[in-house]
Amino acid sequence: MSLFSSRLINNMESENQTGVSEFLLLGLSEDPELQPLLFGLFLSMNLITVLGNLLIILAISSDSHLHTPMHFFLSHLSFVDICFTSTIVPKMLVNIQTGNKVITDAGCLIQVYFFMVFICMDNLLLTIMAYDRYMAICHPLYYAVIMNPRLCGLTILCSLFISVMNTLLHSLMVLHLSCTDLKIPHFFYELAQILRLACSDTLINDILMHLVTSLLGVGPLSGIIFSYTHIVLSILRIPSIGGKYKAFSTFGSHLSVVFLFCRTCVGVYLSSAATLSPRRRAVASVMNTVVSPMVNPSIYSLRNRAIKGDLRTLISGTFSFS
């Protein structure tokens, strides 16, 4: 039975009745009393995520003073975060509201594909932003020449190309897997779940996943560590305290976002590798897929005076217009 062409057999096999190809997302909890609480919680978090990141995008696009490489990458990061959560949370909310936890095999494939595309884009964008701060602080005289609009646009396109090709490769590799267990102890469908459910040989898939994790996980992380090590060393050489604070304020928000992203990713990876319950693995995934994109706008807006000012102007203008 193919993993993405499985059919649920209704009643007894002798009745020769087959249903629609589908899986069951068991979610975070099967307790009926917790469903309204979970629905309200995740709906609120999703609205905050979309609204917060959308305000960041509007603030940057409406102010010519924010048309810098750093804010250019930040606006794309906010857009990716919106798409990231929109791949997972709406389906989860529908399942909670209707009580129907079924997801079709096509829906599984679509969710896995876009989830991997956007999380890979998130990772690459954070690496690019770390390099941008490295150039701005460690090589300020060359910053405007190197981080020109053409290079910024090219890095975005390269990140998108890498993310799409990486995800396409994984998607094609899972099509040959077979599966008999159609119950997924998670609130969304991800690559790790596919490999756990598969009853056929997954050696090639495991090798590919670890290879890609090394290239697109360890590689960008090494670049981030390299950039911030040189940034910190450059800041320590600044004689005045005011100069150190000003330099730190230009990358402090990005450092906080990188730490949160890496911390949640490591938490999900370790919880998946360890002998933990599916419920605890699902809770760990919430931090990575829902909480992190939600708090990113507040981190950037609280530490960036220009964005805070534009957000106040944007919000006050909206209410005064109303």
Query: Which residues of the chain are under the pLDDT cut of 50?
Result: 1-2, 4-20, 271-275, 321-322
**Which CATH architecture does the domain made up of 13-321 adopt?**
Up-down Bundle (1.20)
Q: What angle do CA 52, 292, 86 make, to 5 degrees?
A: 65
Contact 25, 266 (CB under 8 A): no
Q: Which two tokens stand for residue 256?
A: 């906080």
| DSSP letter string, 238-270 | -SSHHHHHHHHHTTHHHHHHHHHHHHHHHHHHH
Q: What is the reported pLDDT for 161?
A: 95
Q: Which secondary structure element, helix H or strand E, spans residue 233, and what is its range?
A: helix 219-236
CB 126 within 8 A of CB 223: no
Phi, psi of 183 (to 5 degrees): -95, 125
Of 275, 169, 261, 183, residue with least CA distance to 224? 261
d(CA 60, CA 56): 6
Q: How far apart are CA 26 and CA 99, in angstroms?
A: 10
DSSP state string for 104-122: EHHHHHHHHHHHHHHHHHH
At residue 80, the pLDDT reads 93
Helix (H, G, I), strand (E, B) or coil at 99: coil
Q: Give domain limits for the chain.
A: 13-321
Taking Cα atoms as reference points, which of 112, 109, 111 lies closest to residue 3? Answer: 109
**Euclidean distance between CA atoms 95 and 93, whole angstroms:** 5
Which token pair is 216?
């697109």
Two structure tokens written together for 197: 């459910």
Compute the distance between CA of residue 50 and CA of residue 65 in angstroms, rounded to an integer: 24
| Tokens encoding 208 | 């590919």
Compute the distance between CA of residue 231 and CA of residue 234 in angstroms, rounded to an integer: 5
Q: What one-character DSSP code corresponds to residue 237?
A: T
Report how far residue 147's alpha carbon sits from residue 15's, in angstroms, rounded to the nearest whole number: 66
* Exposure on the CB side of residue 113, measured as CA atoms within 13 A: 16
Q: Are 223 and 132 in contact (CB under 8 A)?
A: no
**Confidence at residue 308, expressed as pLDDT on a 0 to 100 scale:** 61
- Residue 240: φ, ψ to 5°: -90, 150
